[in-house]
Structure formats: structure tokens, C-alpha cells
Structure 1
């Protein structure tokens, strides 16, 4: 958190650590930001370490967050609670775009028999907004609400292709390697993005997880903005773009048409990387 803090919230570090003062709100956010998809159950010590806050401060804030319902304690560890989940569902991005897209995603599942994902740009990450899966067994690589690198998935590459230049630069500063096939060389990623722009779709093979490949296309609003990426995850098989891309493009056009009629939806609210 940067910038001026509210005088009513500003408070010096009373724990004697000598750290820079933080507002109460900034401390609460530091506690919540300790959680992510790889650290969804944390001990008090874990939260203090990951947030950079003194142990006593963490203990006090966590007690209040548990009382309010933002956190829940299970088997000695803390997890995100129902209150934050309920608030998150009120987000117009989650509520409007995901609801509009769901019927079209079911169509894609019916026609391809592959897991269908809808991602939006979230800073330098791809946020999984909705996921439709069938009954076929396979690894659950990502869950709704997960954020992943833009360079390592088909949907991420679609979003990165159409992202602002500063987002591309930041996303490729230190790309993470998830498998032996993850492309982390900046020049190679940029070449792939040029191909995505030319072809209108992206493919990957075991870049974000073993045994999984992907195909994705952009969802483009009527004013030309890419508001999301629609893709499928293919398990234990090579992607077949010639068969899958037309299905995805038809669904993406349907989503784009319906977005215009979704109450309160605005593409700018999905473009947090801008």
C-alpha cells in the first residue's frame, strides 16, 4: 500500500521492531496477502513470516479476522473464510462475465469433452474466472480464483499478446519455470506472441503442468478490447487446433455478444493490467 494513509488509521509500530509505520488497513491486507493458491492453509508463524509483521501484531489481527469471518481456523492452521468468499462473488467481473460465459462454456465442453477455462488479465497474472469440467478423470491443475503466469498457458499467452506493453515487460522480467517445457526465454515468448496475434489462437504443451496441453482464443468486445481468454485443457493428448479452435471462437463470439447485455458489465473492470 502506498501513498498517504488516513490519520484515523495511521499507527506507529507499537511492537518495537523499528519497522516503518503501517496503517491498520495495510496490516490487515498484509495478513490476507500471505495466502495464495500455494499457501492456502497457514500457521500463525507462517502468516507472520510471509506478511513481514510482528508476531504479536499478527496474532491480534488474526483473532479479529476470525471473529469477523475473513479467516477460519482448522486443525491449527488458518484459511480464507466464508465472508471473503461471499464478498468476492459480488465482484462484477466474477458475477457478470462468468455468468454470461457459462452456457457457452458448457457448449464447448459438450463438443470437445475437454475442461473449459475462462481467464482474465489480473496485473501480470491470468486469473481463472470460471471453469467447467466433465466427468473424465484428470489432474485439477487450477481452481477458480487461481492466478498463474501469463507466459505458461494458452489462455495466458492470449491475454499477454493483447496486453499493454508495460504489462508484457513486467510479465517477462523473471518468468517462472513450471515444467521442463515451460518457455522462459523472453525472445522466444515474444515470437510466440507474434504468432498468436497472427493466427488468433494459442497452444501450449505441458508448459504449466505435466500431462496437460491447452488451446485458447481471445474473447473480444465490440469495441475491439480483449476482455478474456477462453480455452480448453487437454489431458494426456496432443492438442488439435483445427478441431478445437472453431468451437472456441464460436463460443467466444457468443460470449462477446451477450456481454453487451450483461447489466453493469464494463470491459475496463477486467483490464486491471492497464
Structure 2
């Protein structure tokens, strides 16, 4: 993502996005390299961000502050969704004892709102707050299948990056999979985002049953996990969550 680096906010966002998901700290010099900002500018802006508790100073550079987590938890839509969804996600985990995800749509990507896994969970690149492309994930396909026509056209006409040898990069094949998602209520991923992982997902539909507000998935490793065996469970979880959200939405509407 690019930012207007001639604005203060643009510089702040560039610095925040220079941190990867796995890093605990990044040096000043490395922040300058990743943001294409002068080291003196990064030093000044990072100092302001530290004073406002967006960053913390370390012996080797800077790290993201816990204040960012607090701010993220105030995001009304995702927080409300997560509070309602958690019982359904926990029930799904108890039924399957495999990794369970809740994801929402953002542009051409899935943002993972929740991830539940036990001691034997499969190794997965997904993380809470992380992103993955729509076209190569089961949650992404479920969201895309119920997305509007403009979103589907945009994704199908854009390059579909190949993440593994099994990633679907042919627009026609992906389009036919999206049709099947609507017909069956589930989407599958078979080692398309990560080698060795299989996944099945179902969309959480809105009040009208035409669009998706989120999607739920179950993921497991090749050799042990059979996604077809969990179709009923994941569909039931998504349907149950959708029903509760619809009921709450109706209760929140003012009387006519």
C-alpha cells in the first residue's frame, strides 16, 4: 500500500506498515530503507509516535506499541462481529478439533478477525489481523462468491498471483468455483495458499441472504484432514451466526 509521504499521516502510516507480522523490533536504518524516507525524518516521526504510544523504543530500534492493539479492539464492526461469533467458532472447534477462522472482506483480501486452534493445529501463515488474497483461500472464495458484480469482475480481471503449484490462476476456473460456492454453500481450498493445507469455508450471509458479512472456515493438514467431512458443521456455524446477526440487526432498527 502506498501513502502520500509528503503528509504527516502518510509518514506515520508508512512507518506502521513497515513492520511485518513476525518482527518484534526494527532498526531506524531499516525503517528508513523500507519507507524510502530520510533517516532524520523517520527519527523525528518515530519520536512523535513513541511519545503518543504508537511505538516503543528498544535497544535495537522500535517496536509496535500495545496501544495499537487497544485501538484496533475499538473497531466497532469487527469487535461486535467477534463478540457474537465467538460461541459459534468455539462450538465449531469442539466439533472438529481443527483450526477455525473467521474472516471479513477488505478490498481483494481476507482480513482474519479470529483464529482458534488446539495443540495439534496445522501450521498456517494466517494470523488474527492478517491478510490473504481472496482467490486462493476458502474464506476468500466464500466472500467473493457473494460479493457484488463489480468486486468479482475486478478480481477476475486482475492478475491472480500463484502462491503454490495448486493456486487457481485461471479466471474461468475461479469463476466456475464461485458459482459452485453459491450452489452448495461452501468453498474449498486445496493447497492453494499454502502447501500441505486443506480448508472448507461457508459465508455468513446478511439479512437479505444475498451478501456476506463474514465467512467461517475449518483448516487441517493434508493426510489427516478431509474438508468434505466438515461441510455440515461449517455451514451450520455460518448459518447460526448469520441468524443471530440478522436478529440483532432487526432489534436495532427503529420502529417504522
CA distance, structure 1, for counterparts of residue 98 and residue 165 of structure 2 = 24
Give the Å deviation of 1:57. 1.1
**1:219 is the counterpart of 2:215:** no
CA distance, structure 1, for counterparts of residue 58 and residue 219 of structure 2 = 32
Partner of 1:11: none
Give the Å deviation of 1:178. 1.8
Structure-to-structure mapping, 1:81-230, within 5 angstroms: 81-172=65-156, 173-224=158-209, 225-230=211-216
Instruction: Between the two structures, name the one with larger relative contact order (CA 8 Å, sep ≥ 6).
Output: 1
CA distance, structure 1, for counterparts of residue 38 and residue 166 of structure 2 = 40
**1:65 is the counterpart of 2:45:** no
CA distance, structure 2, for counterparts of residue 201 and residue 188 of structure 1 = 16
Runs (4+) of structure 1 exceeding 4 A deviation are 38-41
Q: Aligned pair in 2 of structure 1 residues 198, 168: CA closer, same or farther (>3 Å)?
A: same
Give the Å deviation of 1:254. 1.5
- The CA deviation string for residues 76-113 of structure 1, in whole angstroms up to 9 with x for no partner, is 14332111111000111231111111111111111111
Unaligned stretches of 5+ residues in structure 2: none
Unaligned stretches of 5+ residues in structure 1: 3-19, 267-274
Question: Does 251-260 or 116-125 show the bigger shift?
Answer: 251-260
With normalisation by structure 1, the TM-score equals 0.81
Partner of 2:236: 250
Question: Does 142-151 or 165-174 show the bigger shift?
Answer: 165-174
User: How many pairs does the alignment contain?
Assistant: 249
Match of 1:234 among 220, 224, 233: 220
CA distance, structure 2, for counterparts of residue 162 and residue 238 of structure 1 = 30
> Is the CA contact 1:100–1:262 (under 8 Å) kept in the aligned structure 2?
no
Q: Aligned pair in 2 of structure 1 residues 261, 62: CA closer, same or farther (>3 Å)?
A: farther
CA distance, structure 2, for counterparts of residue 107 and residue 89 of structure 1 = 23
Of Structure 1 and Structure 2, the greater helix share is in: 2
Q: Aligned pair in 2 of structure 1 residues 134, 48: CA closer, same or farther (>3 Å)?
A: same
With normalisation by structure 2, the TM-score equals 0.86
